[in-house]
Chain A
Amino acid sequence: MALPRRRRYRGAMSATLEPAALPERGFNRFVAALSLRGALLAMVLASLAAVLLNPIFVTPFPVLLGRMLVIALLLLLVFTAAGFWSVGWLPRWLVQVLAVVLTAPLATYLVYLPAVQGQVFEVLRHEGRLSGFVLITGTVLVVAPLLALGALYRERDAQARSQALGFALERSQLEKQALDARLKLLHAQIEPHFLFNTLANVQVLVESGSPQASAVLKSLIAYLRAAMPRLADEHATLGDELALVRAYLDLMTMRMPDRLQYEIDVPDDLRGLRFPGMALLTLVENAIRHGIDPAEQGGRVEVQARRNGDGTLTLRVADTGAGLRESAPPGTGLANLRERLVMFYGAAARLEIAENAPRGVLVCMHCPGAIST
């Protein structure tokens, strides 16, 4: 139904606007912007105006109605076209209303032309036509801008609605991100390089009958159990996480005894706090991988937790290793961790990365609303 009508508008326009002057893409957008509802509304109002003006006019009603309809459709086309025509220093709505106001007398003049067989000045010489011209122009000048403003108001309303839809979309995207973060944790993998190197070390200890072997194996088992792909443990505590961090650091100290020292400084009363599993381990692994391991002289890793005056928890992982270059890859680990912290502690959770003095990296994790289990 809508298609043939649209084609008709296109025909009407070609007579007035010279579509060849418009770029093809702009033309298509223009046609798309013409709505059936707009056209119907314009025609209904034009008919109403014709009925109201009829008693004053000598012209037969059908002619008057025809003229009003032609004027209304012309103005609709101009209004729509003006929406695409950007004048830098004028707001778009003003351009549209001005276009309608300026076109109104011209359109009225145009519809009178057929009556005078195209004699341009004839319109103004005949008193009846002149008063008709003034009356119609007047009516159009009152009705059209009001209508244009109404249309613009509706358009703004639609924009507000689309913005509301945008917010809803954003919210659902956030939910998706939360789900993604959980899935990524499931995919967290033990690095084969780490595993085989550690096993090679354990083998030495076992073969040489070292009393250390058993303790090291225990650490390896604790680390592997925690690092196995699984869903986040809802009941994990900071104490659990610290046991895991210690197991990992013990393994690394066995592997590079001359290059790694570490210290864990966490008050006992904080160990019962609920904690997102693997969060601290990710930071400690980063400190080893990007800080200590690349440094010939190695360095020191310090893990610290403090309860702040306002009840929030701050965790710090500091290393004195190689430091971070500005072009170092950001790594997905930190981005994932940031997402998980926000999921666990809310939007106020923060992860801050800074240079450590005299060298290395210092990462601070601010956890608001830390809850005891």
Chain B
Amino acid sequence: MTTPTALIADDEPLLRERLCTLLQRCWPELEVVAQARNGREAVELFDQHAPQVVFLDVHMPGLNGIEAARSLARRAQLVFVTAFEQYAVQAFEQGAIDYLVKPVEEERLADTVQRLRQQLIRPVPAAPIALEAVLDGLSAELKRRAGAPAGHLQWIKASVGQSVRLIPVEQIAYLRADEKYTLVVWEGGEALIRKTIRELADELDPSRFVQTHRSVIVNLHEVLQVTRGANETAEVQLKGRRELLPVSRSYLHLFRQM
């Protein structure tokens, strides 16, 4: 019988070493052939060494453990390691996928080693659809937690003096087209950005930002009052600002209820 081999992937070196040490005790004949610091390295080293078992930390920079597992598919026995991803633990349990919780306890690892040994001697094919479905679900969940996916614009990058400022959109009072550029007026001042009003209208959250005119987008939370003007038009006044912004006929319906 050949020597069983394993790969450990974790971004925290002390934790990689600890798992190594524990494995030496619980499974002396296992050879840890490679250690990876992130998901990308894990996939690369897997292709080089083709280990039979892979221990994957869920939370890793760049490619995370779940994404790495998806590209390893069913070419190895997978064991996930997680610190406190409660949703991940639930998903692993539902999908009958092996996992360890950090800090890893020796007794728990011994159980896992027991199962892995049996699998290597007499492989019981796990329901393949279940594994991939669970990983797909988890991957989506992780992305969701990492940040709003393909959401609306939350920051606007604008050159102010020497630096590129990141302006939180909730601080913006209004945006006004200025030829090829757009003037951003916010709490901290004014800046020109290269995006057009049209692009911005598509990217900003429509429940907060409305276009009131061909060349103007207004932050609704900053509106003080809307005054009817001539010819089915109106003017918007913003809180703490003197300038009046135009509302053209085709956008007037936005303020009918206000």
The A275-325 residues at the B interface (CB cut-off 8 A) are: 293-296, 298, 324-325
- Distance (whole angstroms) from the CB of A167 to the closest CB of chain B: 11
A293 to B228: give the CA distance in the assembly, Å: 52
Q: Does B128 contact A (CB under 8 A)?
A: no
Further pairs besides A355-B163, A361-B166: 9, Cβ < 8 Å = A88-B230, A204-B15, A255-B12, A294-B61, A326-B153, A326-B154, A327-B148, A327-B151, A354-B166
> Which residue of chain A lies nearest to B171 when distances are taken between CB atoms in the complex?
A338
Encoded as 1 (CB less than 8 Å from any A CB) or 0, chain B from 136 to 159 comes to: 000000000011101111111100
Which one, A201, A258, A293, A326, contacts B37 given CB within 8 A? A258
Within 8 A of B (CB), among A161-212: 192-193, 195-197, 199-201, 203-205, 207
Q: B150: which of A200, A259, A327, A354 is its contact (CB, 8 Å)?
A: A327
In the complex, whether B44 has a CB less than 8 A from a CB of chain A is no
Q: Report B-chain residues with C-beta under 8 Å of the C-beta of A196.
A: 83-84, 101-103
Q: Is the CB of B166 within 8 A of A324?
A: yes
The 10 closest A-B pairs by CB, nearest first: A200-B103, A192-B84, A355-B164, A353-B166, A354-B163, A296-B62, A89-B230, A196-B83, A200-B102, A193-B84
* Known A293-B61, A354-B165; contact A330-B155, beta-carbon cutoff 8 A: yes
Specify which of A192, A258, A328, A350 is in contact with B154 (CB 8 Å cutoff): A328
The reply to whether the CB of A254 lies closer than 8 angstroms to some CB of chain B is yes
| A254 CA / B13 CA spacing, docked (Å) | 9
15 pairs, CB–CB < 8 Å, chain A vs chain B: A88-B232, A89-B231, A192-B83, A193-B83, A195-B84, A197-B12, A197-B83, A200-B12, A200-B15, A201-B15, A203-B103, A325-B155, A327-B150, A354-B164, A355-B163
If A192-B84, A196-B83, A293-B61 touch, whether A327 touches B154 (CB-CB below 8 Å) is yes
In chain A, positions 39-81 with a C-beta closer than 8 Å to chain B are none
Bound-state Cα–Cα, A187 to B165, Å: 30
Q: Does B170 count as interface, using CB distance less than 8 angstroms?
A: yes
Do A330 and B170 have beta carbons less than 8 Å apart? yes
Q: Is B104 an interface residue (CB 8 A)?
A: yes
* Chain B CB within 8 A of A100 CB: no
8 Å CB contacts to A: which residues of B194-234?
Answer: 228-233
Closest residue on chain B to residue A323 by CB atoms: B166
B40: chain A residues within 8 A (beta carbon): 296
> In the complex the two chains form, is A334's CB within 8 Å of B168's CB?
yes
How far does the alpha carbon of A257 sit from the alpha carbon of B188 in the complex, in Å?
38
- B176 located at the interface, meaning its Cβ lies under 8 Å from any Cβ of chain A in the complex: no
The answer to whether A254 and B14 touch across the interface, beta carbons within 8 angstroms, is yes
B35 within 8 A of A: no
A312 CB to nearest B CB, Å? 16
Residue of A nearest to B16 (CB): A204
> Given A196-B84, A197-B83, A197-B102, do A257 and B165 touch, yes or no (CB 8 Å)?
no
Q: Which residues of B are found within 8 Å of A324, using beta-carbon distances?
A: 155, 166
A205 & B164 in contact (Cβ 8 Å cutoff): no
Residues of A within 8 A of B14 (CB): 200-201, 204-205, 254-255
Contact assessment for B148 and A329 in the assembled complex, using a CB-CB cutoff below 8 Å? yes
A86 at interface, CB cutoff 8 A: yes
- Output the nearest chain A residue to B58 by Cβ-Cβ distance: A193
**Distance, CA A193 to CA B58, complexed state (A):** 11
Quote the shortest CB–CB distance from B22 to chain A (angstroms).
Answer: 10
B67 within 8 A of A: no
In the assembled complex, A24 has its CB within 8 A of some CB on chain B = no
Q: Is A127 interfacial (CB-CB < 8 Å)? A: no
Closest A residue by C-beta to B103: A200
Q: Is A362 an interface residue (CB 8 A)?
A: yes
Which residues of B have CB within 8 Å of A86?
Answer: 228
Contact of B147 among A197, A328, A361 (CB under 8 A): A328
CB distance from B136 to the nearest CB of A (A): 21
Residue A18 interfacial (CB < 8 Å): no
**Min C-beta distance of A7 to chain B, whole Å:** 29
In the bound complex, CA of A352 to CA of B167 (Å): 8
Q: Establish whether residues A328 and B155, one from each chain, have CB atoms under 8 Å apart when the complex forms.
A: yes
Instruction: Choose one: A204, A254, A330; the contact of B18 (CB below 8 Å).
Output: A204
Contact of B188 with A350 in the complex, beta carbons under 8 Å: yes
Closest to B62 in A: A296
A361 to B151, CA, bound (A): 21
**B18 cross-chain contacts in A, Cβ below 8 A:** 200, 203-204, 207
Whether A330 lies near B168 (C-beta < 8 A) is yes
Interface string of A333-350 (1 = CB under 8 A from B): 011000000000000001
Nearest-CB residue, chain A, relative to B148: A329
By beta carbon, the residue of chain B nearest A361 is B166
Nearest Cβ on chain A to B39's Cβ, whole angstroms: 9
CB distance from A117 to the nearest CB of B (A): 45
CA distance A197 to B104 in the complex (A): 10
Query: In the complex the two chains form, what is the Cα distance from A355 to B157 in whole Å?
Result: 8
Which single residue of chain B is at the shortest CB-CB distance from A334? B168
The distance from the CB of A322 to the nearest CB of chain B, in whole angstroms, is 8
